[in-house]
Amino acid sequence: MTNAARFARFVQDMTRLVEGQGGDEPKLLDKGAQLLRELVTHDDWLPDAFAAPSDDSYRQYLLHCDPLERFSVVSFVWQPGQKTPVHDHTVWGLIGVMRGEELCEEYADAAPDRPMRRTGAHRVRPGDVDRVSPRIGDVHVVSNAGEQTAVSIHVYGANIGAVERHIFDEQTGALRPFVSGYHNATLPNFWDRSAEMRARLAE
Ligand code: FE2
């Protein structure tokens, strides 16, 4: 059985955070990173269907979207070698690794007719939380850097699957708009608390 209460609590805490600190991105990212670190260091809550890889490409499953679209929570699942194109987000994002190991390669903002300039790369391991935003650096490539399936949990400052973003050509810096969407059509149910309530009745 998955520990649904853990994820439900995370959503409640993130909702309070966005409500209280929504206008202060540095504070929001600091506190949000703490909450996400706590979530991804306990690998007992994600239903298997939302951790299922595909041979076609990495998967992105929507786990929760704030009703006011102030934030969304997505599970990313990567087989060894799978990677994103060079892309941006246009909103803040937190990336917490829960299984396996990922490689984040950062790029400077694109300049027309110039190759993209890579500014850094680092490995992200279980319990690590990475940050992106137009304010602190928003262009990167993420890949599975390990030998096993990797799962990371991402939180973004919008309904990210519906945001118009950009993919960049690494050689020319040319950008094209894209909307990522999600691979799932239905959401996981983290809110069925009937077992807990029935246990209380039986006390
Ligand atoms: Fe990204």
Residue 76 lies in a domain: yes
Adjacent-strand bridge partners of 107: 118, 139
Would you call 48 helix, strand, or coil by DSSP? helix
Residue 193 lies in a domain: no
Range of weakest confidence among 28-37, 124-133, 147-156, 193-202? 193-202
Handedness of CA 200, 186, 51, 107 (dihedral sign): negative
Range of weakest confidence among 51-55, 97-101, 195-199? 195-199
Residue 198 lies in a domain: no
Range of weakest confidence among 8-12, 20-24, 102-106, 181-185? 20-24
* Cα of 13 from ligand 1 centre, angstroms: 23
Query: What pLDDT shows up at residue 142?
Result: 95
Share of the chain above pLDDT 90, in %: 90
Query: What pLDDT shows up at residue 23?
Result: 87
Query: What pLDDT shows up at residue 112?
Result: 81
* Cα of 26 from ligand 1 centre, angstroms: 18
**Kind plus residue range of the DSSP H or E element containing 187:** none
| Average pLDDT estimate for 4-12 | 96
Residue 201 lies in a domain: no
* Cα of 201 from ligand 1 centre, angstroms: 45
**Kind plus residue range of the DSSP H or E element containing 26:** helix 25-40
Query: What pLDDT shows up at residue 75?
Result: 98
* Cα of 188 from ligand 1 centre, angstroms: 22
Residue 191 lies in a domain: no
Domain of residue 139: give its range. Answer: 4-185
* Cα of 142 from ligand 1 centre, angstroms: 7
Number of domains present in the structure of the chain: 1
* Cα of 9 from ligand 1 centre, angstroms: 25
Q: What are the backbone angles phi and psi of residue 41, rounded to the nearest 5°?
A: -85, 0
Residue 53 lies in a domain: yes
* Cα of 113 from ligand 1 centre, angstroms: 23
Q: DSSP label at 115? A: P
Residue 194 lies in a domain: no
For the entire predicted model, the pTM comes to: 0.95
Residue 98 lies in a domain: yes
163: domain CATH number is 2.60.120.10
pLDDT digits (tens, 9 = 90+) for 144-203: 989 999 999 999 999 999 999 999 999 999 999 999 999 999 999 999 999 888 989 988
